[in-house]
Amino acid sequence: MVRVKVWQRRRPVVHQVTDAQPSLTADIGRREKVYFIQMGIRVICLILAAVLNVPWPVRALFVAGAIFLPYFAVIGANQPSRGVPSTFDSETPNQNEIPRHRREIGS
């Protein structure tokens, strides 16, 4: 027996613009997620440095991770996404710009 759907709800087609920057909300969400992951790794490093009985080079590595990870996490969280660079070309004149030979205002 073959089931035939008489009425099927279709999802709208979403077109993506590949050259567009991500929205501010998406960018902030991504940066927050990365920040919290890095801070989680920092907490794990701090706990491992305090709890594990390991040789000093390994403990120093955990302590270094607990000390330096916040710096890199904050720098990464404050840096906006590296999307597609703008297509602004300083060689191309602005169409709304007054031509160089007509910059003065006549009286």
Per-residue pLDDT, averaged over 22-33, amounts to: 88
Residue 75 scores a pLDDT above 70: yes
What is the distance between the alpha carbons of residues 13 and 33, in angstroms, rounded to a whole number?
Answer: 28
CA dist., res. 25 & res. 81, Å (int)? 12
* Position with higher pLDDT, 11 vs 1: 11
Task: Specify the 3-state DSSP secondary structure of 13.
Answer: coil
Question: pLDDT averaged over the chain?
Answer: 78
Overall pTM > 0.85: no
- Are 73 and 42 contacting, i.e. CB atoms less than 8 angstroms apart? yes
Going by pLDDT thresholds of 50, 70 and 90, the confidence category of residue 37 is: very high
